[in-house]
Amino acid sequence: MKLKDPVFRPLSIKEIKPEGWLKNQLRIQANGLSGNLDQFWPDIRDSQWIGGTAEGWERVPYWLDGFIPLAWLLDDPDLKHRAKDYIDRIISRQQEDGWICPDWNKSRNEYDVWAMFLLLKVLVLYHEATGEERIEEVVRKALKALDRHIDRAPLFDWGQFRWFEGLIAIWWLYERTEEEWLLDLASKIQAQGFNWKAFFRHWPYKTPDEKKRWSFMSHVVNNAMMLKSGALIWRLTGLEEDLESADVMVDLLDKYHGMVTGVFTGDECLAGLSPVQGTELCSVAEYMYSLAHLISITGQAKWGDRLEKIAYNSLPATFRPDMWAHQYDQQVNQVECSKQPEPLFQTNGGESNLFGLEPNFGCCTANLSQAWPKLALSTVMKSKDGLAVTVYAPVSVDTKVDHVPVTVNIATEYPFRDTVRFTVRTAEPTEFTLWLRIPQWAQGAYVEIQGEKRKVEQNGFYPLKRVWQGETALKLVLPMKTEAMARPNDLYAVVRGPLVYSLAVEEEWKRVNEDIPGREFPHCDYEIRAKSPWNYGLCIDRDHPEAEIRFEEHPVGDCPFSPEGAPVSARVKARKVDWLMEKGAASPVPGMRWVSEETEEVRLIPYGCTNLRMTEMPIL
């Protein structure tokens, strides 16, 4: 039996390199928490995975899942050396029967093997980066141990709800060895796992739980992860209902819990449509990873649209610009980040929207590292007849098409600009198709190649098939239309192309939790309070907002995802309205008992550049 082939296959870490602002963003990440957790955070530095006494479950694998691609994408000798040290120490502790997880002084039957699924993903990534031959046998022995283990100790808790994550290493090993027992193991894991597809046929979470009960089934990260489950198992089953399951799930999550930034609320469980109910950073990272799999397996361009929207809005907004602090929960309307004795959130605590080392729980601290590196790895993929550009960002690709060396350089300041420039070089003349993703919002897109302008009529993937030889330059223009997107309760958000725009709110940062060990500068905790008004309604025509919003471009500098470094801004007329605060947040809906007679000009910047923001506002 053969697995079903994905439409596109991701390039390896060796074949793709970040350039421009993306490379700079990865360097900011490496200089921040991601690149330094192993130096000071006990859960990484002293983990049981490497022989210490601290946490021995998900946190080291989570961190390595982002740290490894970060190290190799930046080609940083120090980061690579530290990653290798962790992998060597983990492998050295693998037991004779293949069990690779820490012995934590309890029965193995009590160990939730979600951490093993995660660690095996990490080993596959490490092999992709280094080509180390020993990794295959390490993964094989660990999967053999897992196969025996779940016969007597079936999946439970996180492993049961994240069973599909185990398929990633299983499919990788099967494609190398074609050993039939791996398909049997995949079938057993699916049978023991939670049936997300069946659950969504009669889905009970259309409103937040009034009793604020915590549930594996409404857990926001589980929901972000499971979106790829159907596509992954489709490679074994071949069932169209598996392949298409994400369409139904995303539609429901959008309808009842969706945010204008492309993610859904969950603090920590699904939380409805209110602009002040946050979403967890882990869900942002895992949703992006699910979308990368959906693009690869289905070949559908809409998943690339969604991935960009999340990556260029929700992802950077949940970090301090220097990436030394992050939030557990981010809010679409976020006018204060402060410690609250009575939490606003459904199932998270009153520190969940602080910027800090590990607000609320440390899982996001460990997992935050994967999102930017894996976005870089999702930009270009291989198709059966060439290459597909699935996400737009500045990268360079060195690969082979039909055994011919091909280099593709993508130079762009997208998403802040509408133009993407390509330079394609081939070692010898070769015919292949370069598939260009045309977003659904891009009306009037065109490709210009060797002076010839070709209008692109359809959305989806546009095929550029030709005999490529020598060096060929081409340009893709994706016009960005301004839209006032309707949101619940007669609120609206300004959207232009892949970016959501928010009212820029002046900030006052204050350090907190200074008495807690580990909160030393720069990995410390902050409250943020507003220093400027935020209670505005917009004076625009909701049907033709472009007539009254004036956009201005600024240089793309060293820290574009920051209030000061925003590469684009907008000026718009607005008036203050009656809008109260409760529990450290703007109320979900303005009172509107009064509207100021004074019209002011206010400044909007990309959502991803903000720390405090108003995104959903009334139109006056």
Which tokens go with 512?
A: 């907190």
Q: For the residues 140-165, what does the mean pLDDT come to?
A: 98
pLDDT for res 459: 85
In this model, does residue 104 exceed pLDDT 70?
no
pLDDT for res 210: 80
Environment class of residue 256 by beta-carbon count within 10 Å: exposed (0-12), middle (13-18) or buried (19+)? Answer: middle
In this model, does residue 482 exceed pLDDT 80?
yes
Whole-number average pLDDT of the chain: 97
Secondary structure of 129-174 in the HEC alphabet? HHCCCHHHHHHHHHHHHHHHHHHHCCCCHHHHHCHHHHHHHHHHHH
Rounded to an integer, what is the distance from CA 115 to the centroid of its chain? 20
Q: For the residues 14-18, what does the mean pLDDT come to?
A: 98
Q: For the residues 570-589, what does the mean pLDDT come to?
A: 96
Cα–Cα nearest to 601, from 579, 576, 567: 576
Cα–Cα nearest to 503, from 613, 580, 609, 606: 613
Q: What is the identity of the amino acid at 264?
A: F
Q: Could you give the CA distance from residue 98 to residue 113 in angstroms, rounded to a whole number?
A: 14
Query: What is the number of other CB atoms lying within 10 angstroms of the CB of residue 506?
Result: 12
Q: What is the pLDDT of residues 167-222, one digit of tens each?
A: 999 999 999 999 999 999 999 999 999 999 999 999 999 998 888 899 999 999 99
* Residues 6 or more apart whose Cβ sits within 8 Å of residue 291: 227, 228, 303, 304, 306, 307, 310, 378
pLDDT for res 172: 98
Q: Which of 98-107, 374-383, 523-532 has the lowest mean pLDDT?
A: 98-107
Dmax of the chain from CA atoms?
Answer: 77
* pTM of the model as a whole: 0.98
Q: Could you give the CA distance from residue 550 to residue 496 in angstroms, rounded to a whole number?
A: 12
Environment class of residue 224 by beta-carbon count within 10 Å: exposed (0-12), middle (13-18) or buried (19+)? Answer: buried
What pairing do the DSSP bridges indicate for beta strands 419-438 and 404-412? Answer: antiparallel
Question: What sign for the dihedral angle of Cα 391, 395, 399, 404?
Answer: positive
Q: Could you give the CA distance from residue 470 to residue 370 in angstroms, rounded to a whole number?
A: 36
Percentage with pLDDT > 70 across the chain: 100
Please, are residues 339 and 588 in contact by the beta-carbon 8 Å criterion? no
pLDDT for res 106: 76
Q: What is the pLDDT of residues 306-363, one digit of tens each?
A: 999 999 999 999 999 999 999 999 999 999 999 999 889 989 999 999 999 999 999 9
Strand partners, 330: 279
Secondary structure of 232-259 in the HEC alphabet? HHHHHHCCHHHHCHHHHHHHHHHHHHEC
Q: Could you give the CA distance from residue 130 to residue 127 in angstroms, rounded to a whole number?
A: 5
Rounded to an integer, what is the distance from CA 186 to the centroid of its chain? 26
In this model, does residue 580 exceed pLDDT 80?
yes
- Describe the crossing of helices 20-31 and 59-74 by its angle, rounded to 10 degrees: 140
Q: State the pLDDT confidence band at 475, using cuts at 50, 70 and 90.
A: very high
Q: Could you give the CA distance from residue 190 to residue 242 in angstroms, rounded to a whole number?
A: 12
Q: What is the identity of the amino acid at 75?
A: D
Q: What is the pLDDT of residues 26-76, one digit of tens each?
A: 999 999 999 999 999 999 999 999 999 999 999 999 999 999 999 999 999
Strand (E) positions, 481-599? 482-487, 491-496, 499-504, 507-512, 525-530, 536-538, 549-553, 568-576, 581-582, 585-586
pLDDT for res 211: 81
Q: Could you give the CA distance from residue 306 to residue 122 in angstroms, rounded to a whole number?
A: 25
Which tokens go with 268?
A: 């920590």
Strand partners, 505: none
Q: What is the pLDDT of residues 260-312, one digit of tens each?
A: 999 999 999 999 999 999 999 999 999 999 999 999 999 999 999 999 999 99
Q: Could you give the CA distance from residue 284 to residue 542 in angstroms, rounded to a whole number?
A: 29
Please, are residues 280 and 218 in contact by the beta-carbon 8 Å criterion? no
